[in-house]
Amino acid sequence: MAVVEEDAAASADPAAASDPAAGSSENEITVEEASFVHSEPPQDGSAPPVVSSDMEALHDKVKKQIIKEGHGRKPLKFATCFVHYRAWVQGSSHKFEDTWQEQHPIELVLGKEKKQMSGLGIGVGSMKSGERALLHVGWELGYGKEGSFSFPNVPPMADLVYEVELIGFDDVKEGKSRSDMTVEERIAAADRRKIEGNAYFKEKKLEEAMQQYEMAIAYMGDDFMFQLFGKYRDMALAVKNPCHLNMAACLIKLKRFDEAIAQCSIVLTEDESNVKALFRRGKAKSELGQTESAREDFLKAKKYSPEDKEIIRELRLLAEQDKALYQKQKELYKGLFGPSPEAKPKKAKYLVVFWQCLVSFILYLAGMFKRKNE
């Protein structure tokens, strides 16, 4: 797919200059040369995953099993960590929290987390970026003797199980959280993550790139965007939308097409004429066999970029698929109903002619007989 996204990696790609959909932005990436990363999204979360790795004791009340290895170093104290997790009451099927389902990671400042998350904080502090692990936390470092009867609903003295993924972290000495940052600081922090994601993408490290983009998006959360107007909103969208588009680029390469569609749709809610979002969503839909819906996206993209060769190519491929499907169905129906029966000779026709002649002859004789009698 030659239509490119809005990231800096494209500056090193000569093909970007010939792509009408790419524009002239210096913040663009291509996806043609990206390698596949064999990765699976988290399980559905109806129950804690079954993990066969060794149990590591991080604390008397916190134990860890690694599900997927991470990379790089571990976060320091007061680092701002971005985390996805699911949480269950141990020994039961009661799941009381799931940030994957909410599609929004949480922010955890190590050493400054809430008391009921102190066990989770110990586990996260032992992880590397991209690592996913199962944490077993005693009730003393969870919701304690009293439990919680509001949200989340956790019974008293409940041991907990967490499935956790550390998306990434920022080492800030003061442990400054997003809520304490100015608008400019949050946008700048998100932009740094986007740039780091671009660097990973150029190295064909799709998982690492996605982690950086997701962290950048976390800085641009819905609560933050809702407060922005005018130039600040434009500044934030100039960082946020490219991250969604680049997430979609990575997800298509990982064959996670539904997730790629969701990322493009987020951009299109803000900018319905975004050619890259329309093209990439159309591509993902096409891969899922959603032909008509894909065609709609490609036609909309073509409306805004009529000369784009890649959009024209995708529309031509869909037309060829339709033609091939029609021919296949035609052959199938022909086989089901068989050839048309040949017309049989109409033997009855000769009998009709014979009887017509006979009747005419009888009438002729009758006429002669009548004239003779007269």
Q: What is the CATH number of the domain that holds 166?
A: 3.10.50.40
The reported pLDDT for the residue numbered 12 is 33
Overall residue count recorded for the chain in this entry: 374
pLDDT, tens digit, 9 for 90 and up, residues 203-243: 988 988 998 898 888 888 777 888 888 999 999 999 999 99
Structural domain harbouring 138 = 56-170
Do 187 and 317 lie in one domain? The reply is yes
Q: Are 248 and 263 in contact (CB under 8 A)?
A: yes
Do 314 and 226 lie in one domain? The reply is yes
Distances in Å between the Cα of 233 and the Cα atoms of 220, 244, 253, 256, 271 are 10, 16, 30, 30, 13
The reported pLDDT for the residue numbered 343 is 56
> What's the domain count of the chain?
2
In a domain, 215, yes or no: yes
In a domain, 360, yes or no: no
Q: What is the CATH number of the domain that holds 209?
A: 1.25.40.10
Which portions of the chain are predicted below pLDDT 50? 1-41, 174
- Distance in angstroms (rounded) separating the CA atoms of residues 58 and 139: 15
Q: Is the peptide bond before 306 cis (omega within 30 degrees of 0)?
A: no
Do 194 and 302 lie in one domain? The reply is yes
In a domain, 75, yes or no: yes
Do 213 and 146 lie in one domain? The reply is no
Do 211 and 314 lie in one domain? The reply is yes
Distances in Å between the Cα of 20 and the Cα atoms of 12, 226, 250, 310, 317 are 17, 33, 21, 9, 19
Residues 6 or more apart from 313 whose CB is under 8 A from it? none
Scanning the chain, the segments in alpha helix (DSSP H) are 99-102, 118-125, 183-202, 206-219, 222-225, 230-253, 257-270, 275-287, 291-304, 309-337, 348-373
Do 247 and 136 lie in one domain? The reply is no
Domain final residue pick, 146, 170, 194 = 170
Determine how many CB atoms are found less than 10 A away from the CB of residue 142.
Answer: 26
In a domain, 132, yes or no: yes
Phi, psi dihedral angles at 59 (to 5 degrees)? -165, 165
The reported pLDDT for the residue numbered 311 is 94
Do 256 and 306 lie in one domain? The reply is yes
Do 120 and 246 lie in one domain? The reply is no
In a domain, 112, yes or no: yes
In a domain, 298, yes or no: yes
Domain final residue pick, 170, 198, 227 = 170
The reported pLDDT for the residue numbered 89 is 94
- Distance in angstroms (rounded) separating the CA atoms of residues 152 and 166: 21
Domain final residue pick, 303, 321, 339 = 321
Q: Are 133 and 42 in contact (CB under 8 A)?
A: no
In a domain, 60, yes or no: yes
Do 164 and 217 lie in one domain? The reply is no
